[in-house]
Amino acid sequence: MSPMIFVNLPVADLPRAMKFYEALGFTNNPQFSDETGACMVLSETIHVMLLTHAKWQGFTTRPICPPGSSEVSLALTVGSKDEVNRLVEAGAAAGGTADVNPPEDHGFMFQRTICDPDDHVWEPFWMDQAAALGSVDAKEHTS
């Protein structure tokens, strides 16, 4: 079985957060959701657990990062530059904030950022792996 990842995120408004993630293509798994948290599924191996602040504080005594701070950046591969743009635009239309960091286009890789309504940073990116490996190989042989 492939490892699974469950990204746990504290959210101030659960329905608003669910709407944002649904706009990005996540689906809700009601078996693991209630009024205090929602399991949002992207794939068989990637899940995001949206937890109300009260629920979150049941798991840790550490403070929740205030909006606008930088706690983590979650990078997610997609199939094309167009898909990067589509996700950022869909997230912005669903209450997120697009391009909190400037878009980056390195030719072989393109990425943008989108913050969810609670300021969690996502970085959808596309990478031409063959070109990326070629640039790594070239650097190794010139150093």
What is the spatial distance between Cα 84 and Cα 25, in angstroms, rounded to a whole number?
13
Beta strands in the chain (DSSP E): 5-11, 27-34, 37-41, 46-52, 73-77, 97-98, 104-105, 109-111, 114-115, 121-127
Which of 126-132's residues contact partners 24+ apart within 8 Å by CB, and which partners? 126/77, 126/78, 126/79, 126/80, 126/81, 126/83, 126/84, 127/77, 131/107, 132/108
Q: Is residue 23's pLDDT more than 50? A: yes
CATH 3.10.180.10 region(s) of the chain? 1-62, 70-143
Query: What CATH architecture applies to the domain 70-143?
Result: Roll (3.10)
Residues, the chain? 143
| Higher per-residue pLDDT: 133 or 19 | 19
**137 confidence band (pLDDT: 50, 70, 90):** low
**129 confidence band (pLDDT: 50, 70, 90):** confident
The pLDDT, as a whole number, for residue 143 is 43
Note whether 110 and 68 are within 8 A (CB): no
What is the spatial distance between Cα 11 and Cα 52, in angstroms, rounded to a whole number?
5
Q: Is residue 67's pLDDT more than 90? A: no
Question: pLDDT tens digit string along 37-64?
Answer: 999 999 999 999 999 999 999 999 999 9
**2 confidence band (pLDDT: 50, 70, 90):** confident
77 pairs with which residues across the strands? 125
What is the spatial distance between Cα 115 and Cα 13, in angstroms, rounded to a whole number?
15
pTM given for the model? 0.84
CATH class for the domain made up of 1-62? alpha beta
Question: In percent, how much of the chain has pLDDT > 90?
Answer: 78
Give Cα 142 to chain centroid, integer Å.
35
